[in-house]
Chain A
Amino acid sequence: MGASSPIIEVHSLSKLYRLGELRRRRIVSRLARPIRRYLGRQSRAPRPDARDLWALRDMTFDVSQGEVVGLVGSNGAGKSTLLKILSRVTEPTEGHAIVRGRVQSLLEVGTGFHNELTGRENIFLKGAIHGMSRQDVQQSFDAIVAFADVERFLDTPFKRWSSGMRVRLGFAVAALLPHDILVVDEVLAVGDARFRRKALDHVRQLAQHDGTTVLFVSHDLDQIRAVCPRVIQLDAGRIVADGETEEVLAGYLQPDVAAHDQVVDLTGDLTHSTKPFIRRIELVVEGGSTASLPTGAPLTALIDVENTTALPDVDVYVEIESLSGARVLRTRASHLGVAASQTGDGSQRFRCTLASLPLVPGTYWVNAGLTRSYQAGDRRAKALVEVDRKLRLTITDADVFGAGEPFTERDGLVWTPAAWRAE
């Protein structure tokens, strides 16, 4: 194997699935196909049909040896189909892939285990199903058992095992048997947190020390971040993004709806409402017009509220949410002793200034809303209006410490001013 040739080459791979109930005529014609083909009466390519689904369409990419590549995409994007084709479980309809090395696939952890067999018997059985000889399995046996932490249950029938133990053993068998390429489909969504961490560490280590190539499907983006320097995003069977993890994930989490960068005007929806509502939100950026700021910059939000007098205890908040849905911070007017006026026409503007955004580079949402004020004994304030995911804020790399080195998303979850001195 030449050192330069990629370990996996995928060339315009496509996969067609025929949907719908199998109709009698179709089954007959399908079963007769080999005979007709033998007689030279039918071309090899299947005819298109309205009920066909292209699970993969014209997909091309390369993976180099030792790379750990994450695959993301919504359900039905084609992730599992791709892994199944690379594991040779199902064949592509068009295109081809070249795989240079032994593939170990873990499409579901329980595959190959039998409930009536003991743990020991199951390890050998699953090893054989994964194409390993008895000696291969024998050599890895102790490591597998130790990794899965199941010594005590080796001679217990599998049906008496807890589901966590089964998952651990399933992962351990596939991951510890010799291979060049490991294909993992969403199997680390189960199992306890400690084992998940151990498994992720193992995957990372496989790539770093053994040169194993890993294809990793997960809906848990933190897992993807933890192990994959590169991510391929699929949508409807096509590659929509392929590149450095944070960049791809930022695009992946960006919803399709047009988001506003600076002002959101909500007047249209609510003009005749008699309840309090937010008419307009504006982000004011010092010396700029777009909401693209360096880490540590100040941000001001102007919130125009109507009908504040309709209720006696309206409170306003501004919050910053990450694209993966985590609330990074929230500040409420009442925290600072500011309350809506109870007199006048009920129109009021609130100005919220965050002196220094502690955000690492990336994209965020700026949300605002109205709640009832906290009453003594309340667990949480009752929400009145939530303007969520309408305003987008982009934080860029910046040399916040002025030492010539930017603060990036790899430096943590938040930023804080810091002082260093060598003494």
Chain B
Amino acid sequence: MSMAELTVLQFIGIFASYLTMTLFLPALLFHRKTSKYEFSVRFMIYFLWGNFYMMNVVFLLQLLHICNRATLILVTFLIAVLLFFHDRGIRLDEYLHQRLDLIRRYLSGVMGRKTLGRSVRKRIRGIFKLFLRWLVDNVLKKLFPCVLLFGTIAFTIYIFGSTYLINYGYNASDLVVHNYWINGLKDGKLFVAGIYPFGYHIVLYFLSEVFGIRVLTLLRLFGLVQILYVLLMLLASVSALSKSKYVTFLSGILYVGLNIWSVDSFSRFHSPLPQEYGMVFILPSVYFAIRYFQVKAEDLKSDMEKDDWKSMKLYRRWLISSRRYEAMEKRRNRTLYYTSDFRYLKFKDKVKRCIAILQCLIRRQKERHIKEMMRFRESSWMLVYFALAFQATLAVHFYATIITGIACIAIAIGFFGKFIRGEYFKVLMQTGIIAIICAVYPFAFAYIGGTPFQGSMNWALGVISGDTADSQNSEELQEELEKGLDEGDAAFYDSDGNLVAIMKKDGTVIGSESFVKQFDIQPNMDSSDSTQAEDTVESENVKTVNKSLVQKVKERLLGLSQKLRNGVITCKNSFKESIDDYVVNKDSGYKGIAKAMMVLLLASMGLSILVRCKDSDYGRMLTSISLSAGFLMLLLIAEKIGLPVLIDANRTRYFMLYFICMMFGLAVDAVLYLLLSWRKLIRPMRVVAFGLVVVTLVVTYQHKLYAKPYHVEAQETNGAILCTASILETHTKKDFTIVSANDEMQMLDASGYHTESIDLLREMEDYEEDAYFACPTKYVYIYIEKVPLDYYTSWYGSGSTVSEEGASMELPKGDGVDIYTGENRFIVMSRLYYWAEAYERMYPNEMQVFYEDDDFICYEIKQNTSALLNLAINYGFNVGEK
């Protein structure tokens, strides 16, 4: 079988298994409860439940140390079956009894073969009819959306998946680390390298364990599933929020269909990485947060209508009275009782007693009313789904949580009027806390158990505590300032008058280099001319240091309008620069993308205000999305404008692009709503939206604006992956060792052993007779790159073939992956190549070529395990001077 065929089959398997857990199984269980929602909302709900279940069941079983294939399958499918029957009100024992009774009747001869056959066929026909009905209702009646959806999916698979058929290896260097962590889960070690958000690892572990897919295969191909879901979430959320539905495909086309965006804006999607997996949960959390406000308003509205609009007033009065009640409690005046001595009370006391009774009755009525208001209703479900999505972001990657947090802030601003009201705020806070607890409880248990935080977590905690690089920078600047600046130094201030950077006279920059670059200032080396120094004012923001001038500049910059203008200019320039650097495809030749984005943002904000007049919640929604996009644009340029850098620009662009495409779709929807909703018919909007999509597709095709398939250079040779896959397929016993650089170390999934090439080479360096190195397995595979890869680092000799010159160079020292990058990799592979030649000459029958192509060769050594071959030999380059 070719690797391409295998890749396709493996991808189908992975996709099917992931769909099973995130669509089919949840649909089976929750369809009845969610049938009132449209498909896009149901899709998100099923997805959230599926992921929530996978993550938490593994967490719990791992914490209990009983996590393995059997328990996972049992817990997953057994519970699903039980829930399925419970949901339908069918008792499982009765159901089984009926089925067994059927078999019993057949076996005992009461029921004949024909009757049984008729019964089975009838059942099959029934299921088939149900399927047909579903097909007609959900596909044929919605043919156009289905065609567009499948077309979008197919196109995405085409442009993102083509590279997998050409390059078989991992596309990111840290996948090896993630492989190691997932292998740790297989060994029953949760947080094997320290506490870290493990949601993504757990999902992959779950799929591997339950469906028997190798981790190697998942890490190769799950990235394609991931980008599909990122896109599907975009489509689902825009579809759910919009009124014309088809505009969602405009968002999708803008996001993946056009060749506007740079290749690097999608480079991380070629590997299954936690950040990108966390991205999948952002838009569902945004949607359900917005939807909560919308639905809650409807719930409260219906309640108010029921109570004749008194409820809110009563609620507020209850709040007041409950405060009084608490005060009364303090004064020990809480009891309400009817005593027989009522008649004997003074009139004044009687009146007081009656008032107290009345107050109590009112209070109880209010409490009943509040209880009625606080019962679980539609909006509550929205909060539940929001909590599921939010906790998933926290469990998968903190960046996703940060972005979700920014979006939540935008939503809070958009729905500010409601947000600050008690009935919203309190519940939202409670939900947020519960969501955080659901996400961090495994961390807590692990921490209590003595597991330390992983390195990245310490950095994250540092960010949270404010110990950022920026704050370190500002401390450094302050120190420099306190030391005193010398003649010829230049200080740079932002529009707020804050010191952002200092450029010394020799050109050294302390602080924000990017801020300095925009001014294109040359260091003033000659400081002897003091008059020149005093009079030189190159711009309003940059002053060559003269102690008296610094004070004056700072005072001038404090002017508000100047500040604002400068800020806008800075933002505009920075944004344009960042968009050009990070987002736009330079080869496409598009210009003005940054401007277009800013215009879109402003237009979107404006539209949201206009739309509010017709539908306030819809307008607020658009405001929230626009603000989210705006915040992310600010985040992109945070470093340049002196804001705290929560996420560096390189990663921010992924999220920003995502939200901009969402905003675009909703903005178009808002325009259509404003123009065409006056007939109060949904159809004209949809027709026009569909027309827009078609026109977009046609124009894109005619002008060749569509994106081309991405091709990513894999960080492993195809030969290595081919050999590893073949070895894993043919060796069922743990009887082999692979000697290679590093990537295969974790790929073997406990099926074999791995030794690093550098260990072998070092053992026989400065060869002596007593040198000994052996691999205690029957088969030993040696991986050698004849053309060493540029392993995430190119060097001056990139693409060189192994040579004697390379073999003559000194072996790299040190540890870690540096040994296998750049020139070091070239040296290691050259040495290994000539070692293999010499060894094959010594053992021609024991060592043979297992696989060879132009770039890669794999040798197989077959040995007797009770007479291991010594791999340490004198191969000519490991003795004496080189």
Instruction: Report whether chain A binds chain B.
Output: no
